[in-house]
Structure 1
């Protein structure tokens, strides 16, 4: 199975919030930082749906790279800011997410939070 096929499975499990199926699939992978054609990883996908339990599992149990960038330079932290998941933002910052990484347009996570008026998140990003 190629990476895009695996990521399709990941996406379905995340969408359905199937935590047990998700863990089983992640346990079968050599690399949980696997990226699809857009550069999205399982962590990016879990964040896009606000799946906190999956995010914590990937970071704490599987060692997912919290600073990995997709093809547009977006990090998991940037995804969490854009999708307005404050608890995930707080968690990623506590786990050491790099606030200085810029996406392809030169925008960092703190600037993104300001741009999208995520005022409650800004306290974690300064």
Structure 2
């Protein structure tokens, strides 16, 4: 995984404001997402060697930004070419994450951008199956 020290001096100076030591660039980006710092997020994303980096659980930046309902960050990642169907450590796609976290606006966005509704997780469930199981009726229209 890319080292934080490879980021520009400008970004490294902004990161110092967090007064934290980050193990890796993904951990830094998670903090930036949680803080909802779109400007710093965009600056770091522009310098990433791999837009589809994953943490030890297999989460991508798309998974993390969806969990926090950060629509502008999700849109930026998709514009930069993030893999909309990248599977995490338990077989969940970003679309499945939007369903499980009950974020219909991001579910709709992902479907509109081409998310594959037919991918099954480790238990054999697809996104439409998860929506039905967890009664996400407000998402049925996007998934069928």
- Return the TM-score normalized by structure 2: 0.84
Larger relative contact order (Cα-Cα within 8 Å, sequence gap ≥ 6): 1
1:14 aligns to what SS in structure 2? Answer: helix
Residue of structure 1 aligned with 2:111, choices 71, 93, 97: 93
Per the TM alignment, residue 116 of structure 1 is displaced from its structure 2 partner at its CA by 1.1
Instruction: Give deviations 1:19-69, integer Å, cap 9, x for gaps.
Output: 011011111111110011111111110000000000001002x11100000
How many residue pairs match? The answer is: 124
Question: Cα RMSD between the aligned structures?
Answer: 1.1
> 2:97 aligned with 1:84, yes or no?
no
Please give the alpha-carbon distance, in whole angstroms, between the structure 2 residues aligned to 1:104 and 1:98.
Answer: 16
- Return the TM-score normalized by structure 1: 0.95
1:58 aligns to what SS in structure 2? Answer: helix
In the alignment, structure 1 segments of 5+ residues that lack a partner are none
Per the TM alignment, residue 6 of structure 1 is displaced from its structure 2 partner at its CA by 1.1
Partner of 1:51: 70
Q: What are the within-5 Å matches in structure 2 for residues 101-120 of structure 1?
A: 101-120=119-138
Which aligned segments of 4 or more residues in structure 1 are displaced greater than 2 angstroms? none
